[in-house]
C-alpha cells in the first residue's frame, strides 16, 4: 500500500472541516426536499459549499491512504456519491417532469447519512499520524548531521 502523501495528510484537517460544512449545507435543503421543490434542491446541490466536496473528500482519502481506514474511506465515499447522484436524478427528473411524483426527502436524508458516515471515518483516519512519524522523528537530526560533517572538515 502506498504511503500517504504528506501534503494531503496535512490538508486533512481543513478538508474535514469542509466536509462537515457540506453536511450542514445538505441539511439546510431539508425544507425544500420536504416540499419537493426540485429547482431549489438542484440549486442547493450546486451551491459553493458543495462545489469542492469531491476534491476535499479525495484529499482525505489520499491522506488516509496508508492507514487502517483506507478501504472504509473509499467505500463510504462511494456510497455517498451514489446517494448524491440518486438525489440529483430525482430532483432533475422532478423538475423536468420526467419522473412523476419524485419524493426528495428520503433521498436527501440518505445522502446526509452517507456523508456523515464518511465524515466520521475520515475523522478517525485524520487522527492517525503519518506512517512511522514517531519512530523517525528526530528534531536534532539536521544539527547532528551538520555537526558530523563539520567535525570531519575540522579534523583535516
pLDDT of res. 2: 46
Distance CA 156, CA 146 (A): 16
Distance CA 20, CA 60 (A): 12
Distance CA 10, CA 7 (A): 5
Rounded mean pLDDT for each run of 10 residues along the chain, 156 residues in total: 54 88 96 96 92 89 78 93 96 94 96 96 73 50 50 52
Instruction: Provide the Cα torsion 18, 23, 25, 31; round to 10°.
Output: 180
Number of H helices, E strands in the chain: 10, 0
Distance CA 104, CA 86 (A): 10
For the residues of 2-44, what is the DSSP string, one character each? PPPPHHHHHTHHHHHHHHHHHHHHHHTTHHHHHTT-HHHHHHH
pLDDT of res. 135: 47
Residue whose C-alpha cell reads 494531503 in the numeric block: 8
pLDDT of res. 26: 96
**Cβ atoms 53, 19 nearer than 8 A:** yes
pTM exceeding the 0.95 threshold for the entire prediction:
no
Residues in Cβ contact with 118 at an 8 Å cutoff, skipping those fewer than 6 apart:
19, 57, 73, 76, 77, 79, 80
Amino acid at each position: 500500500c502506498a504511503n500517504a502523501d504528506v501534503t494531503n495528510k496535512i490538508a486533512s484537517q481543513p478538508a474535514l472541516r469542509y466536509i462537515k460544512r457540506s453536511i450542514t449545507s445538505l441539511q439546510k435543503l431539508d425544507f425544500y426536499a420536504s416540499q419537493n421543490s426540485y429547482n431549489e434542491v438542484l440549486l442547493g446541490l450546486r451551491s459553493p459549499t458543495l462545489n469542492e466536496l469531491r476534491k476535499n473528500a479525495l484529499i482525505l482519502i489520499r491522506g488516509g491512504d496508508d492507514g487502517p481506514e483506507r478501504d472504509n474511506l473509499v467505500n463510504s465515499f462511494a456510497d455517498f456519491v451514489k446517494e448524491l447522484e440518486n438525489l440529483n436524478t430525482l430532483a432533475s427528473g422532478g423538475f423536468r417532469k420526467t419522473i412523476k411524483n419524485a419524493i426528495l426527502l428520503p433521498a436527501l436524508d440518505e445522502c446526509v447519512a452517507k456523508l456523515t458516515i464518511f465524515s466520521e471515518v475520515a475523522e478517525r483516519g485524520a487522527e492517525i499520524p503519518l506512517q512511522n512519524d514517531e519512530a523517525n522523528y528526530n528534531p536534532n537530526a539536521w544539527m547532528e548531521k551538520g555537526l558530523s560533517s563539520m567535525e570531519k572538515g575540522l579534523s583535516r
